Amino acid sequence: MTVELISVGTEILLGNIVNTNASFLAEKCAALGMANYYQISVGDNEERLSGVINTALSRSDIIILTGGLGPTEDDLTKEVTAKVLKRRLVEDAGSRSRIEEYFKGRERKDITENNWKQALIIEGCQVVENNNGTAPGLIVKTEEGKIIILMPGPPGEMIPMFEESIVPYLKTLSENVLYSEMVKICGIGESKAETMIKDMIDSQTNPTIAPYAKNGEVHLRVTALAATKEEGMLLTAPVVAELKKRFGSHIYTTDEKVTIEEAVINLLTKFNLTVSTAESCSGGLLAGRLVNVSGASAVFEEGFITYSNKAKMKYLGVSESTLKKYGAVSSETAKEMAAGAAKAAGSLAALSVTGIAGPEGGTESKPVGLVYIGCYFDGKIEVREFHFKGNRQKVREYTVISALDFLRTSLVNAYGEAIENNR
C-alpha cells in the first residue's frame, strides 16, 4: 500500500513552525511497510487544499492529513475533505460530549460557539478519540476503496492519537504481520555504519534493514514481513545477531523506546553508581538530558555549569595555573573539571565538557567545534578530543551525545561480562 502525507497550515509554509509531523509519520509508516512517495505541505486555502487531496486520491491508497481541524475559520481540512468526497458534515454526539468534558476540567469553562465546529464529522466516517485535545480524528473510506485519515496538527495530540489508534487500524489492513526490531548505535557515523553493513543491505530481501541518521546516532530498523509475529521474530533474529557482531559495544540498545540517556541511567542504576556533571560550552544540556529520565534522582548527584574560568576554579577546583598555561578549552582543564565534579559531589563517576561552540571564539589552533570531554570513573580520568561540525546548537547537541556515550562505554568496559549476561 502507498501512503501520502499532507501537512495543512500556512504557518508551515511561512516557516513559523517546523513540520515535525511529516518526519514522524514517514518513519512510522515505513515501519508499517507502507511506501511513501509524496509528502505535501499546503496552506489554509480551500482551492489549493482541494487540489492536493484530489491529486493524492489519484495516486495513493492512504492519505494522512494533519492540521486544520481547529475551531477557527481558517481550519478547513474537514470541510474541504467533505466537499471533495461530496459528503455532508454531521454533528457527532460523542465528540460534543467530550468537548464539554474537556472544558469542564479547565480553568476557563466558557465554550464559545465555534468550539462546536469540532464536533462536526464527515458523514459515514469512523471517529478517533482525541485524549489530549478537542479535535477528534477521522477515518474516511471512499467509494473507490481509498482511505483518508484526518488528525490534529499539534504533535502533542497527533502523536499519541496515531500510536494509540491509527497504528492498530493500519495494521488491520494487511493480512501479513510486519515485525521490526531497532538497533541503536552511537559512536559511529552514518556513512561508516552503512559501509559496515553494505553487503547485508545489497543482498537483503526479507527482512530488510533501514538506516536512520540521528544527531550523533545511527538507528537501524530490521523489518520482516511474516504470517505471524513469531515467524517475524525468527526472521529478524539472525540479522540482529549479525549487527551485534559487527557493531559490538557501539550498540546501546535494541529497544526502540530507550534513549541514550536512559541506557546510561539504567547502567548506573544497575551497578549502584552515581554521577555528576561539569559543563562549560554545553551549558547544562548534559545534565538536562540525564534528568529527562524518570528515576535519575537515584543516581544523578549534582550538575555544575561553570562557564567562566572563575567558576571552574571556585566550584571544581581547577587550578589557575592550568587555565593560564593550557586554556579553558584543553585536555588538562577537562581532566581537572571531571575530577573536581566527582570530588565536590561525592559521586563515583563524573563527566566534564569544555569547548568552543561558536560561531565566534575559534582560533587556528583551537577552531570552532573543538570539544574536550572528560570522564572520571573507578578512580581514573580519561579525556577525549572531538571536532564537531555545524552551528552552535549542533556542536552542543553532538557534545552531549558524545559525553553520554563516553560514560556508557566506560561502564560497558568495566562491567562488560555482567552486561552481556543480562542482555
Instruction: Name the domain boundary from 218, 253, 288.
Output: 253
pLDDT of the residue at 150: 98
Radius of gyration of the chain (CA): 26
Question: 215 and 156 in one domain?
Answer: no
* pLDDT higher than 80, residue 104: no
Quote the CA–CA distance of 401 and 388 in Å, as a whole number.
12
Classify each residue of 261-297 as buried b or exposed e, where b means 16 or more C-beta atoms within 10 Å of its C-beta.
bbbbbbbbeeeebbbbbbbbbbeebbbebbeebeebe
Which among 79, 18, 31 has a CA at the least distance from the CA of 53? 79
Cα separation values, 64 from 30, 52, 269, 370, 415, Å:
14, 12, 41, 43, 46
Quote the CA–CA distance of 111 and 240 in Å, as a whole number.
53
Q: Where residue 322 sits, what CATH number does that domain have? A: 3.90.950.20
pLDDT of the residue at 419: 61
Quote the CA–CA distance of 219 and 209 in Å, as a whole number.
10
Of 186-190, 335-339, 368-372, 402-406, least confident by mean pLDDT is 186-190
What's the total number of domains in the chain?
A: 3
Question: 87 and 58 in one domain?
Answer: yes
Question: 164 and 91 in one domain?
Answer: yes
Question: 371 and 316 in one domain?
Answer: yes
Question: 239 and 290 in one domain?
Answer: no
* pLDDT higher than 80, residue 34: yes
Question: 397 and 290 in one domain?
Answer: yes
* Residue scoring higher pLDDT (378 or 104): 378
Quick one: which H or E segment has residue 355? strand 349-355
Structural domain boundaries enclosing 194: 177-253
* 3-class DSSP state of 209: strand
Instruction: Name the domain boundary from 253, 280, 302.
Output: 253
Question: 198 and 167 in one domain?
Answer: no
pLDDT of the residue at 176: 86
Question: 32 and 60 in one domain?
Answer: yes
- Tens digits of per-residue pLDDT, 304-343? 999 999 999 999 999 999 999 999 999 999 999 999 999 9
- Reading the block at residue 379, the C-alpha cell is 578512580
Q: Where residue 151 sits, what CATH number does that domain have? A: 3.40.980.10
Q: How many CA atoms, within 13 angstroms, populate the side-chain half-sphere of residue 340? A: 23
Instruction: Name the domain boundary from 219, 253, 287.
Output: 253
* 3-class DSSP state of 221: strand
Question: 265 and 347 in one domain?
Answer: yes
pLDDT of the residue at 418: 61
Question: 366 and 310 in one domain?
Answer: yes
pTM (predicted TM-score): 0.79
Question: 387 and 308 in one domain?
Answer: yes
- Tens digits of per-residue pLDDT, 264-297? 999 999 999 999 999 999 999 999 999 999 999 9
Question: 312 and 249 in one domain?
Answer: no
The residue-averaged pLDDT of 72-80 equals 94
The residue-averaged pLDDT of 204-228 equals 92
